[in-house]
Structure 1
């Protein structure tokens, strides 16, 4: 898939996100928009996976979403890349839908391997999957995504310590570092300090990309991370993103962490991200 085609996916995913949360007046558009480039790069260019989904994932790369509240971007990407019909996005957060507000597994939604509503747990699961691949002599990789506010959960740091101590070098974890969480800026709620230095002190190989909403650079940092696997250390990407990216009135604030746009705000958002050749659901 060309860079231009991937950019088209990013734009259409933005439309999907705001339309989904608007339709049910609930959901988390801010972080979802900020990660549109990451998900597009991962599923459109970097990861080796099959849409013939099974929970074992033998012989393919695996992805685990830890900050499950950004489900709108996850669902859009899974649908747009062939895991389930795009039209199913119409059911987001509705009764009996497979597209719950936070991803779940009990409804059997293709592409989703863990329920991730409670923060802090995804890294532990991803490390377990990575160890299973090593035991099975499966040379594919495990990817995970985490919010920066999520790093305030203690379980994250236990998992970081374990992965380095056990040489889990077939995992690439990414931190969506937008500096904002539901209560405000992370520096005001609970400052993360020198995150790069902390990750290195915990024994991870750390890469950092300041332009996490530049699709080409996101692809490059993910490819660089792949080249660093298998060298005895787990790999961490600190990806600086903008919450609400692509919609001007949602950027620069934490206000859209978990708030849906009204009718007028939706129209403004869609005007800034015109429908693509992929079409709306």
Structure 2
């Protein structure tokens, strides 16, 4: 057997194994998509079959109607409001905090930086009750503020990521900008921000994904169904005390994944750029 033949067989084997692993990983999504096109009564009866006996596209129409007279138009609008504002707040203020840690010398910088890193190790369950008590004191329960305000203090992971990115930018650029008359704010806006766009875009993708899938925080703070996001609406769409329309539920679950897929498809290159590349290119 020649070397060329061995190399070809090796590639065929590798691609076959990768294809099988990909199919195993994608099977739950494929099953969900197939179930969204089945009759509700046949979803679990013929769960092994990925081909519906009858294609029920009406599941998407029925599912979009929602429940309690509230359609998924309202739930999607609520979700985009929460995700949009919180993502902008987390990225902007994380960038400001990262610039402060990376470029500005102030008293106790190392201590504050260490404390910031320690917060990355705290699970949400540890701060859940104290945070709820605090927002209850402020009379902010059943509003979007408990879901949005914490993001305006920055995310430790995003701050850490941007700090590492800013440190790759030569300090000589800052010095040259100061000679030209720029102050600290101007250097941040005109020099640092354009160079850390990959890191900011990476943080944007992660923030959008985390906030879109967030279920626990809306469950804790929101009490009015008209204010529910998609993640909470999908859970309440299933009623254990009544007959659940599984076809419509899987249809709405499938639609809930579309924004994540779209964001990831168009901005996936920034994930690699934001983590592996340096601040300067050329």
Classify the TM-score, shorter chain.
Answer: under 0.3
* Higher gyration radius (CA): 2
**Structure holding more helix per residue:** 2
Q: Structure 2 length normalisation: TM-score?
A: 0.21
**Structure holding more strand per residue:** 1
Q: Structure 1 length normalisation: TM-score?
A: 0.21
